[in-house]
Structure formats: C-alpha cells, structure tokens
Homo-oligomer: A and B are copies of this chain.
Amino acid sequence: MKENLGDTNALYPLVTTLVGSVVDGKPDFATVAHVGIAHLKGITLGMGKIHLTNEGIKANREFSVSIPSVAMVEVTDYVGMASGKTIDKSGLFKVFYGELKGAPLVDDCPVTMACRLIEHVELPTHDLFVGEIVETHADVDVLTNGVVDLAKVRPLLFDMASKKYWSLGEPLAKCWSVGKGYSAP
C-alpha cells in the first residue's frame, strides 16, 4: 500500500561533494550533495544562490568537485554550515591547480575534478550549474586496476529524510549483465 507524501523529494542518497571556486583570488568551498550527472562527462550542481562559491563559478566559469571520504565527515559537515561570507575557507584544505586556475582541487580528498561551466540555468532560488570535466585526479591508493574503486574512496552519501550521511555498502551485481536473463512474467 502506498502513501502520498506530497512533493517530497526522495531522490536519495546522493554523493556528498566539496564544490570549490575562486573568489577574490582565494579558494572558497561549499558542501554540496545536490549534484548529478548530465552526460558522461557532465556534472550538475544545484546550489542555493546564497552561497559565496556561486559567485566564483559565475565569474570564472570554472569550478572543482571533490569527493571527501568517510574520514573527512567532520570538516565536510563544517564547510556545509559555515558561510564563506563570514569565514575564510581558503586554508581548510591543501589545494592544487591543474589547467583551470578557477578550479581549486582539494588534495585532502581521494578524488577531485576540475570542471568548465558549460550551462547555467537560473532557477528562482537556485543556480543549476552544468560543468564538463577537464581533469580528474585520484589518490593512487583508491585505484584498482587503474580505475577509481568506490570501496576504497568510501564516499559520504547524503540523505535529506534522515538528515544523515550514510556509508556505501557492497557491490551487488554487474550492470548491463544481471538483467540479461530476465523474462517478463
């Protein structure tokens, strides 16, 4: 039996990220779990317009998306509560830059991506940014056979209903494979 929950958004969990941009010459960060994928190389960010980080993204048309591990849960949550308008976040992480000087890459995170802004949809309260990935850096110790191994990354999965970060579980089945034997009842 189903219950109607009104306009509740139940598209969770989503991976918690640190989004970075350069504001007034310094890196700034926001904790953003309202993220998504637009196409194979394209990342979406749904960010309340109030964030300082948005200013840097709009000014430079570049940003970074870094994936903190479980061990970084405290600082990640802290960044999500502290506004860059009142607190200088530029010293919170060890930062490096690749080709894009507007995308402060977070060395503390096991995975960090530099993106070029390709679309900006202005919604009433939010900026929807679409970025194309230019370069992705990962710690060698989270790679298995040269690709990112989520079991080693240990991302923080965000859920709005419980207001909790969740861990990732185990691999269940192969995609484009487990359904091959399916026949409709």
> What chain B residues lie within 8 Å of A98 (beta carbons)?
4
Question: Do A182 and B74 contact each other (CB < 8 Å), given the known contacts A46-B42, A167-B169?
Answer: yes
Check B147 against A161 for contact (C-beta < 8 Å).
yes
Residue of B nearest to A88 (CB): B184
**Cβ-based interface call for A22 (8 A):** no
List, in ascending order, chain B residues with CB within 8 A of A169's CB.
Answer: 157, 166-169
CA distance A135 to B9 in the complex (A): 9
Contact A38 B126 (CB under 8 A): yes
Q: A179–B78 contact, CB under 8 A? A: yes
- B137 contacts A5, C-beta separation under 8 Å: yes
Q: Encode A1-39 as 1/0 by CB contact (under 8 A) with B.
A: 111111111111111010000000000000001111111
Copy number of this protein in the oligomer? 2
Q: Is the CB of B140 within 8 A of A2?
A: yes
Whether B175 pairs with A137 at a CB distance below 8 angstroms is: no
Q: Contact at B156–A165, with CB atoms within 8 Å?
A: no
Cβ contact within 8 Å between B138 and A176: no
Q: A14 — which chain B residues lie within 8 A by C-beta?
A: 14-15, 36-37
For window 164-185 of A, CB contacts with B under 8 Å fall at: 164-182, 184
Q: Is the CB of B176 within 8 A of A80?
A: yes
Asked whether A73 is an interface residue with its Cβ less than 8 Å from the other chain, the reply is yes
Give chain B nearest CB distance to A138 CB in angstroms.
6
Of residues 124 through 152 on chain A, the ones whose CB sits less than 8 Å from some CB of chain B are: 125-126, 128, 130, 132-140, 143, 147-150
Instruction: Decide if B178 touches A74 in the complex (CB within 8 Å).
Output: yes
Kindly state whether residue A44 has any CB partner on chain B within 8 Å.
yes
Q: Which of A33, A65, A81, A112 has the most CB of B within 10 A?
A: A81
